[in-house]
Amino acid sequence: MRTVQADSAGLEAAVEVLLGGGVAVIPTDTVYGLAAHPDFPAAVARLYSIKTRSARKPIALLASGRDGAERFIGTGAASFGSRYWPGALTVVANDEGVRVPNHEWTRELIARCGGALRVTSANMSGMRPATDALAALADVGLSADIVVDGGVSPGGEASTVVSVTAGGALSVLRHGPVKFLTLASGSPRRAKILRGLGVDFVVEKSDVPEVSRPDDPEGTVRANALAKGAVALGGGMGHVLSADTIVWFNGRIYGKPRDLNEARTFLRELSGNVHSVFTGVAYDGDVRIVRSDVKFRRLDKVLIEDYVARVKPTDRAGAYDIDESGDLIVESWTGSYENIMGLPVESLREWGIVG
């Protein structure tokens, strides 16, 4: 084992060790790390042995940039991560977790080693992470091939860890410094609107009981939006967006039908008439109420059966979706189209969520 400085000479020495299948202690933007090249399984196995780390716990990667991350998590996830890198965000996809550190010397080292390294904190499992080379040396450094002294690392909060699906859906696995908008709704239509606007968000479904006040549609959506958002806000998840949408006609609230038979009933009753769509949308407890009016075509039995078979609208208020085969049943509307879908964009602009 030898100790070098985090300068050009130390860079050359660390590159030689890592490309030779060795193990290095290196500085990062958080704590000191124990690193090995991912193409050397024996070197990666040494990381587990040195730390006495459980083999069931994967070791994430540090990448030099988007290109280095793509090899492991794919183009889509790497493209998403690059909006926050370098920094304290670990992106998980394809059973791999990757982060780009905000440390210039370390990124150069990683780039010289091919774009990615397996890196775990330079301490024994369960012990306090080392924030300087001396502490790392005392804990695990004597078992490494080289220790790079980069001064005192800032330490701080562990990175936010978020998984990214092939479709771009996000799920926070560990909360940390990077915060995302939380959508307190499982509605695919609200998610579609946010993705279309380029908003990064995570979904936290809220199963709170909903109120229904036929004589007060605005109060109904207000109360339900606030109740849904309150659960996520109480969890300390950062900014929270929640919403509730109802169809209101002839003094009655049409929520989600219990089954397809009730969906058919809803469509027959709304046929040829003008109804109102109310959405209450809340952002960190601040509420906006938006109304749109929709006129249905006259729907005969054949058209209703065709629509129900296509859309199966049991998860839609009023048993319809203007954005999915809506032209079959909707003659016209006034107000916000997105409000009828369940999330008025004008409110998002008022809060600065979108430009």
> Closest Cα partner for 290 from 335, 323, 352, 249?
335
**pLDDT at site 281:** 97
**pLDDT at site 31:** 94
Give the β-pairing of 240-249 and 201-203: unpaired
- How many beta carbons lie within 10 A of that of residue 62, not counting itself? 28
Taking each helix axis as running N to C, give the angle between helix 8-19 and helix 104-112, from 0 to 180 degrees, rounded to the nearest 10: 40
The alpha carbon torsion through 233, 339, 289, 283 (nearest 10 deg) reads: 20
pTM to 2 decimal places: 0.83
Is the CB of residue 187 less than 8 Å from the CB of residue 225?
A: no
Mean per-residue pLDDT pooled into runs of 10, the chain (355 residues): 95 98 97 97 97 93 97 96 96 97 98 98 91 93 94 89 90 90 92 94 87 96 94 73 96 95 98 98 96 98 96 95 95 96 96 92
Taking each helix axis as running N to C, give the angle between helix 260-270 and helix 301-311, from 0 to 180 degrees, rounded to the nearest 10: 130
**pLDDT at site 1:** 79
**pLDDT at site 168:** 85
DSSP 135-202: HHHHHTGGGSSEEEE-------SPPEEEEE-TT--EEEEE--SS--EEE----HHHHHHHHHTT--EE
Tell me the β-bridge partners of 35. 24, 119
Q: Give how far Cα 22 sits from Cα of 13, 155, 231, 271, 314, Å.
A: 11, 25, 48, 73, 59
Distance between CA atoms of residues 304 and 191, nearest Å: 27
CATH of the structural domain 2-161, one choice from 3.40.630.30, 3.90.870.10, 3.40.50.10490, 3.40.800.20: 3.90.870.10
**pLDDT at site 345:** 97
User: Which residue numbers are catalytic?
Assistant: 244
**pLDDT at site 204:** 86
Eight-class DSSP state of 318:
G
DSSP 291-311: EEEEEEPP--HHHHHHHHHHH
Q: What angle do CA 101, 104, 105 make, to 5 degrees?
A: 105
What's the token pair of residue 204?
A: 């936290």
Class of domain 180-350: alpha beta
- How many beta carbons lie within 10 A of that of residue 28, not counting itself? 22
Quick one: the chain helix, strand, coil %, rounded to 5? Answer: 35, 25, 40
**pLDDT at site 310:** 95
Per domain, the residue ranges of the chain are: 2-161, 180-350
**pLDDT at site 35:** 98
Three-class DSSP category at 277:
strand
**pLDDT at site 157:** 84
